[in-house]
Amino acid sequence: MKIKKEIDLHSVKSHAEDSMEDKLELSDFTSLKSLINTKFPHKGFCVSYLDNEVLIGKYDGNGLKFYQNKLPEPQFIQKLRLFNETQELLLWRKKWKDTCGEFSFRLRVDGDGIETDVIDAKQVLWGTTAKKLEDGFTEISEIRGTKIILPFNDIEVDDKDKRVFILTRNYISYDTNDSSYQQAGYVDCRFVKFTDENGNILGGELDG
């Protein structure tokens, strides 16, 4: 299998909001949904990294939809990304004690803010065989046993070039100590969209 590595350096206007020193506590899915509805009232995809699995679903601007109605309970969330082409809400667990946990978030929005250099790159997902499931979901898998369930079915994969990708956007900052020295580095990274090997959007267009 040969996957062509592609990166795209360009600039966008962008700004970010984070929880800073504010204490953010979540106890159950209801409290998680309230935070999401407040910070991200738009359609998007959700990738939730739990302690024992990864859930990938869709968000309609009000509610999350995962395969077989599974839900990411806060006590098991390590990290959660809710994203579309213009923005992403990143949530991560700092600690959990008894019945509630302390979390932090970052909301990154493109299209408004400071002109920022970015690098877009495609991240390949494991999966060379696709099986359509109910409710518009698809399972992609490999012989080695890796399985991912995606919330759309416009998927064609094989063990050659046809694969599913996540387009990531990496934000660059330039640190300057004096007029003769400048160092570039990544200060943020977000998910943008699912694509095929040719960059075509998978899962449909989502508003921002």
Question: How is the chain split into domains, by residue range?
Answer: 14-113
Query: What does the DSSP 8-state code read for residue 21?
Result: T
pLDDT at 3: 52
What sign for the dihedral angle of Cα 164, 192, 199, 10? Answer: negative
What sign for the dihedral angle of Cα 101, 58, 136, 201? Answer: negative
pLDDT at 175: 76
Instruction: Write the CB contacts of 85 (distance below 8 Å, at least 6 apart in sequence).
Output: 192, 193, 206, 208
Residue 181 to residue 165: CA distance in whole angstroms: 36
pLDDT at 4: 56
Residue 65 to residue 135: CA distance in whole angstroms: 10
| Angle 165-36-68 from CA coordinates, rounded to 5° | 60
pLDDT at 179: 62
Tens-digit pLDDT string for the chain (208 aa): 455 557 789 999 999 999 877 789 999 999 999 999 999 999 999 999 999 999 999 999 999 999 999 999 999 999 999 999 999 999 999 999 999 999 999 999 999 999 999 999 999 999 999 999 999 999 999 988 889 999 999 899 999 889 999 999 999 988 776 666 677 888 999 999 999 999 999 998 776 5
pLDDT at 62: 92
Residue 55 to residue 190: CA distance in whole angstroms: 17
